[in-house]
Amino acid sequence: MSALLRIPTVLRPAMGGATSITVEGSTIGAVLSDVTSRFPAVKGQLLNDDGTLHRFLNVYVNDDDVRYLGGVEATVAESDEITLLPAVAGGAQ
């Protein structure tokens, strides 16, 4: 199952510089395994040690936020577009 993964600017240097890559996997978990096996340096920014999605990573499949679709269990269909969006957060505290 090949899909397109859009890479945010901040992760591009560690992922070969491309704005997007083709990825394999029928779930988000499988896709991120594909990504982290090819680019081990980004693993900590994508996944927690228990394999769940990093709290500050937003993942969209087309227009849907995967946290409402089962997180790493969310399914990925052929030609879907997956977007990784690191959260933008901070605060006075």
- Three-state DSSP at 1 gives coil
- Three-state DSSP at 40 gives helix
Counting residues that bind another protein (by CB under 8 A) gives 18
**How far is CA 18 from each of CA 12, 13, 74, 76, rounded to the nearest angstrom?**
6, 8, 24, 21
Return the bridge partners of 20, or none: 6
Pick between residue 37 and residue 90 the one whose CB is nearest to another protein.
90
Footprint of another protein on residues 35-74 (CB under 8 A)?
56, 58, 60, 63, 65
The answer to the question of residue 4 lying near another protein (CB under 8 A) is no
Nearest distance from residue 14's CB to another protein, in Å?
A: 13
Positions touching another protein (CB under 8 A) are 8-10, 56, 58, 60, 63, 65, 83, 85-93
